[in-house]
Chains A and B, each alone.
Chain A
Amino acid sequence: MRWYIPYGNPTYFIWLALAIIPLMIGLLYGRRFRGYQTVISLFFLILTFGGPNWRTGIALVGYLAYQVILVAAYSKYRQRKASPNKGWPFVMAVILAIIPLVIVKVTPAIESGRQSIIGFLGISYITFKVVQTIMETRDGIIKAFHPVLFGQFLLFFPTISSGPIDRYRRFLADYDNVPKRADYLNLIQTGVRYVFTGFVYKFILAYIFGTVLMPGIEQRAILAHGFSWNIVAYMYVYSLDLFFDFAGYSLFAVGISYLMGIKAPMNFNQPFKSKNIKDFWNRWHMTLSFWFRDYIFMRLVFFFMKHKVFKSRVTTANVCYVINMLIMGFWHGETWFYITYGLFHGCALVINDTWLRYKKKHQDVIPHNKFTELFAIFLTFNVVCFSFLIFSGFLNTLFFGPSNF
């Protein structure tokens, strides 16, 4: 028996292809074999969380039981006839839902790098799904709670380790139905294309940037002591590796979901073509940034407006940008470079908004043409790459790391 990181090597894909063929035949003939799907889900979860990783498997089971009970209890409260829908049970439910994630994220910071025993691969992404379900239950958009369907949603294996982050109602609509044959054939076609594009991204391009080019540049940058052009080279190589690795992985997850007749949302849309930072966050790790937009940014904006905390709408939006991105930074991990990365993007969004307002006011004098658009893309790309250099933690190794040389 061997154990696999999802989409980590060719053998995993062979297992995957064999396992989903019966499912695909069913879907082509108008049937969704839900029992079979549960069985293969379990099989792939064991491949990832079993064997030497069995401890994380136990953590996953415990975590799942905890969250199902939590959401069930909150749903029971909300779906009673004439539920008072008070604020405090909702706040309590959200806090309880994110406590395990907070523990997992804080443990390495205070225990000098040791991982928490309640952690497992993909805990963040499941937590996002849980919080989103609680919020929509509060809003009354989710009207019924089914523990089994909810479990299917949380544990949907193609996306379990790193997203994309699906939405409960969207997932359920797909899961409950069988696509029409013509639609499903289109899904297969797109899914297959995604998986193969993913191969190019992850196993060729990310390999070239991350495995072939990066180590040499990294070593030269460290040996140069202090600033050298190698750091700039590292910035670009790291950024491209990050993109192709993660986008490749996301393409696998979305492609396999399509083959299973589930239209999981896309995660990347040519992010390096963005014309400004806001545009970038609409194209980069989209399901995460949309989650933050819908469940943190918008909620903050409503909260501040309702309580009239700030006079101007602009100030409200700016404060919310910074808080939103800071939380994203903290979510990445409790290190100075992740938090700086969040702050950097928060400020970048504020500057971007200010500039766009200014530009709109002075439309007659500020030129807008193909050239300025190209310049905007170039500028955005470099700002983003610089933020990834912060994110990479390489500056930390470079300036504050133990000096081995």
Chain B
Amino acid sequence: MSLKKRLLMIFGPIFAAAALMLVVFLSPLWSGLNNVNPTVQRNAASSLSPLVLKGQLIKQRALENHYVPFFGSSEWSRFDPFHPSVLADKYQRSYRPFLIGARGSQSLTNFFVMQSINHQLKGKKAVFFISPQWFTPMGEDPNAFSFYYSPLQTTTWIEAETGTKMDRYAAYRLLQMPSGNSDKIISATLARIAAGLKPTSFQSFYVGVRHRILLNEDQIYSRYRIPFNNAQTIDKNMKQLPSHYNYQQFNQLAGKIGKQQTTSNNFGISNHFWNRRLKRHVKQLKDFQAGQSYVKSPEYGDFELVLSQFAKDHTNVLFIIPPVNKKWQQYTGLSQTMLKQFDQKIRYQLQSQGFNHIADLSNDGDVPYFMTDTIHPGWRGWLKIDQAVDPFLTKKVSQPHYHIDNRFYAKEWQQYQD
């Protein structure tokens, strides 16, 4: 056997395997494999899993079904009988919440999640939960952002970007995160976009190839191993509800359950949360939030990204502004004046640009059993949120007219204090 032939026998299979792999991961044929089983959609909609957040296929199929995106962060994980997912399922509403967000996912993460479902957001409705706690002086924590960072969403956005103020600002913010620098060519591309330039033809080619590979990975793998424990929690909570919806009865039931589950402390905080997270440290936590401010933060700029994207997609959005547990707020010394300023500032940013569907619950922090812990709504809180969400999603509501004002991206606005 000649040398050439022998070497071909040894290395041929390796090259064949490499070629096959390229064909598999670069093939456009995978986009035909679109079907997502309804059970998987249901599990994914409440899973709060980072994999679902970072992926694309499941969200797209679910939103084309009857799911509505509920953007936010850690509040969605507070399941009880009045959680929006439980109520929608129990009373067979025309919509089902697709919960997006978990601890540490703030405006910037939500903006990139939107990139994977822009098509599904066009002209549709959505719910967006604004946590005041996002708006800290440092803004989004780079590590939390990395945890939810999706290269697929980034390449999707780069492929669609047109050099608007929104695009340039998003590139600028991404470059401030370690995730934005994890790929050298992508980070060079971001630098050009941030500077208002088009990506070079090589960069476009590279982003295109990366995008195709990531897209295929999502098409091939994302459907599997979706956690279903939250779907089971929803089923369990549904059983505690009466068969017909009655607000008065519900309000009483919420109070009753809340009372049963907050017996360990005087703050109206659920026993579970109190015993596991607070009990041991409660002495040190006295007045620990005294200097805290949510009024000056780069988060206002990131939030403007979200608003610009909603405006671009003509999505009709209901914003929810939650309160802080009043007793806890007073114990930890969190300033009431500051919270009021935050509320006014965020409402101004919303309303002056035409975002008028707002459920502002910021004054309900002292309603008994409204909050399940320090900052997250539960029982009566969820019920009040449902009073806004249900009619917004099931009835005809006025079409919004958005007019985005780029000044909200400016440092002046981020640092503005009345």
Contacts and interface: CB of A to CB of B under 8 A. Distances in A.
A188 B10 contact: yes
A181 B3 CA distance: 9
14 contacts: A28-B3, A181-B3, A185-B3, A185-B6, A185-B7, A185-B10, A188-B7, A188-B10, A189-B9, A189-B10, A192-B10, A192-B11, A192-B14, A196-B14
Contacts of B3: 28, 181, 185
Nearest to A181: B3
A28 B11 CA distance: 15
A329 to B, nearest CB: 40
Nearest to B10: A189
Interface of A: 28, 181, 185, 188-189, 192, 196
B19 to A, nearest CB: 16
Interface in B1-19: 3, 6-7, 9-11, 14
A181 B1 CA distance: 12
A196 B10 CA distance: 12
A192 B17 CA distance: 14
Contacts of B6: 185
A181 B7 CA distance: 12
A185 B8 CA distance: 11
A188 B11 CA distance: 10
A25 to B, nearest CB: 11
Contacts of B10: 185, 188-189, 192
Contacts of A181: 3
Interface residues of B, number: 7
Contacts of A188: 7, 10
Nearest to A195: B14
Contacts of B7: 185, 188
B187 to A, nearest CB: 15
Most chain-A CB neighbours within 10 Å: which of B7, B9, B10, B14? Answer: B10
A311 B14 CA distance: 60
B318 to A, nearest CB: 39
B143 to A, nearest CB: 19
Nearest to A188: B10
Interface string B33-52: 00000000000000000000
B119 to A, nearest CB: 34
A157 B11 CA distance: 24
A160 B54 CA distance: 39
Contacts of A196: 14
Given A189-B9, A192-B11, 12 more contacts: A28-B3, A181-B3, A185-B3, A185-B6, A185-B7, A185-B10, A188-B7, A188-B10, A189-B10, A192-B10, A192-B14, A196-B14
**For the complex of A and B, 8 pairs with smallest distance between CB atoms:** A189-B10, A185-B6, A192-B10, A188-B10, A28-B3, A192-B14, A192-B11, A181-B3
Contacts of B14: 192, 196
Interface in B115-163: none
A189 B9 CA distance: 9
Nearest to B1: A185
A39 to B, nearest CB: 24
A188 B7 CA distance: 9
Nearest to A29: B3
Nearest to B14: A192
A181 B14 CA distance: 21
Nearest to A17: B14
A51 B291 CA distance: 41
Contacts of A189: 9-10
A28 B10 CA distance: 14
Interface in B276-293: none
A83 B6 CA distance: 52
A174 to B, nearest CB: 20
Contacts of A192: 10-11, 14
A142 to B, nearest CB: 36
A21 B11 CA distance: 12
A208 to B, nearest CB: 13
A28 B14 CA distance: 19
Nearest to A192: B10
Nearest to A193: B10
A181 B10 CA distance: 14
Interface string B314-347: 0000000000000000000000000000000000
A185 B7 CA distance: 8
A185 B10 CA distance: 9
Nearest to B11: A192
Nearest to A190: B10
B225 to A, nearest CB: 10
Contacts of B11: 192
B22 to A, nearest CB: 14
B165 to A, nearest CB: 36
Nearest to A212: B225
A185 B3 CA distance: 9
Contacts of B9: 189
A196 B11 CA distance: 12
B214 to A, nearest CB: 17
A188 B6 CA distance: 10
A271 B6 CA distance: 32
Nearest to B9: A189
Nearest to B17: A196
